[in-house]
């Protein structure tokens, strides 16, 4: 089943990459959508399965050894479930690579794009999970 989910998520990401971005529920005006920030080796500190938006919190240590705790929002719990997420998809202590559209404000917060696990699994945001920042759930909406 896990393999099926991984394949489905990969395929949905591919579909999203060839689809035109549509207007998301929430504006992205606060975020730099030109390129995601990559938090490689980030350690998940908390995964809050809440509405209106689940929050991913993770410590990221940069090349200079400075650690910051990032907070990232994603689509609602319902939207996230439609693209493969569950309440326990991320757990504290998970070491992952996070892609995030960072806030222009400079605060360590942003709109979540995708997470890569060390086994190759990828989970994406519903609204901003495509590689170009578009939706990753186009196939689920007409």
Partner 1 sequence: MRVTCTGIIAGVAGLLLLPALAGAQSDAPRSPWKYYPEEARANEGPGGPAPVRDLTGTWLGESSGGGVPRLVRPESPPPLTPLGQQVFEQRIVEGPGVSVADTNDPHYRYCDPFGFPRNMNDQIRSMTIATIPDRTFVLLKFMNIWREIWTDGRDLPTRFTGRGADVHDPTYNGYSVGYWEDDYTFVVQTTGMAADTTWATEQGYPHSVDAVVTERFHRSSKNDLTVTTTMVDPRLYTRPVQMGEVYFRWSPRQTFFDFSCVPSTVQQYLEEMADPAGTGAAP
**Residues of this chain that bind partner 1 (CB under 8 A):** 1, 4, 7-8, 10-19, 23, 26-27, 29-31, 48, 50-53, 55, 71-73, 76-79, 81-82, 103-107, 109-111, 130-132, 137, 139-142
Q: Which is nearer to partner 1, 34 or 65 (CB)?
A: 34
Q: Which is nearer to partner 1, 7 or 95 (CB)?
A: 7
Q: Which is nearer to partner 1, 63 or 131 (CB)?
A: 131
Contact assessment for residue 71 and residue 109, using Cβ atoms and an 8 Å cutoff: yes
Q: Which is nearer to partner 1, 4 or 65 (CB)?
A: 4
The closest of 40, 29, 33 to 113, measured between CA atoms, is 33
Query: What's the min distance (Å) between Cβ of 87 and partner 1?
Result: 11
Query: What's the min distance (Å) between Cβ of 115 and partner 1?
Result: 17
Query: What's the min distance (Å) between Cβ of 79 and partner 1?
Result: 7
Q: What DSSP letter does each residue of 71-140 carry, written as one string?
A: EEE-S-HHHHHHTT--TTSS-TT-EEEEEEEEBTT-SSEEEEEEEE-TTS-EEE-TTT-STTSS-S-GGG
Query: What's the min distance (Å) between Cβ of 105 and partner 1?
Result: 4
Q: How far apart are CA 96 and CA 63, in angstroms?
A: 16
Q: How far apart are CA 52 and CA 8, in angstroms?
A: 25
């Amino acid at each position: 089943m896990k393999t099926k989910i991984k394949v489905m998520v990969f395929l949905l990401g591919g579909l999203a990459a060839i689809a035109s971005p549509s207007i998301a529920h929430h504006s992205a005006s606060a975020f730099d959508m030109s390129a995601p920030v990559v938090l490689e080796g980030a350690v998940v500190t908390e995964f809050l399965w809440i509405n209106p938006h689940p929050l991913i919190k993770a410590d990221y240590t940069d090349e200079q050894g400075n650690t910051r705790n990032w907070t990232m929002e994603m689509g609602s719990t319902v939207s996230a479930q439609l693209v493969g997420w569950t309440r326990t998809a991320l757990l504290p202590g998970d070491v992952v690579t996070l892609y995030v559209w960072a806030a222009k404000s400079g605060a360590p917060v942003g709109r979540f794009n995708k997470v890569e696990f060390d086994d190759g699994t990828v989970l994406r945001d519903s609204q901003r999970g495509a590689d170009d920042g578009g939706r990753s759930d186009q196939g689920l909406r007409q």
